[in-house]
Amino acid sequence: MIRMDMHEPTSIRRTVVLLSGGLDSATCLALARQAARECHTLAFDYGQRHKHELLAAAKVAQALGAASHRTMQLDMRTIGGSALTADIDVPKDRSHEAMSADIPVTYVPARNLIFLSIATALAEVLGAREVYLGVNAVDYSGYPDCRPEFVAAFERTAAIATRAGVEHRPLRVVAPLVTMTKADIIRTGAALGVDYSLTHSCYDPVEVGAEVRACGRCDSCQLRREGFKAAGIADPTRYVER
């Protein structure tokens, strides 16, 4: 649930939004803007398989009126352990049962824990009192760091581990999508004017001539495609033709 008080001082309205370039984080940014937040977006070049999501993040930040946009270099390929940061094949054509059976190989170890920690540091520097995070635990894709328990635990930890917390200015972690279905997220974003053609979700995109297309077969593509169908909204994604 978004908390907003139009009489709050600027330091409370200032917000850091983690922005991956996907549809969830784009919707999260739109919700923060609707809540009259001054949004400072943060993306990570963490050694992922491709840079298309970073280009998407910059476009989304501009389109939705972010006050600033940063891309931080963070080489998680030195750790590896994921199909997104190592030479491991991205799973394709999996059923929902297979997606929810275990933690998938596309899980990047402790990624949201690391990203939220850095976003918290940026929030302290900017004098922001919130971090918006577009995690979602309903259309489950097996990631332990997308659950409400994680978000609540991190918020408690940040209150202990930061100067702002010790000085009784604790950071709030706002995860407005965490209990929404993918269809609900898409409907919400569409109502707020999010241009989903600017977003990128595919784990393993394919270059077709000068165009980059989504594979249509990875877990992320399947959840995205099915979300648009369930929402009754046309999917603007360009997929590779099967």
**pLDDT at residue number 141:** 61
Residues 97-156: tens digit of each pLDDT = 888 888 899 999 999 999 999 999 999 999 999 999 999 987 656 789 999 999 999 999
Over the stretch 23-69, which tens digit does the pLDDT of each residue have?
Answer: 999 999 999 999 999 999 999 999 999 999 999 999 999 999 999 99
| Residue range 228-237, pLDDT digits in tens | 999 999 999 9
Taking the model in full, what pTM does it have?
0.92
**CA of residue 47 relative to chain centroid, distance:** 16
> Which residues are CB-contacts of 134 (< 8 A; sequence separation ≥ 6)?
18, 20, 22, 24, 25, 26, 27, 28, 29, 175, 177
For 6-138, strand residue ranges (E) read: 14-18, 38-45, 68-73, 130-132
Domains and CATH numbers, the chain: 10-197 (3.40.50.620)
- The CA-atom distances, in angstroms, between 171 and each of 14, 20, 147, 181 are 11, 21, 18, 26
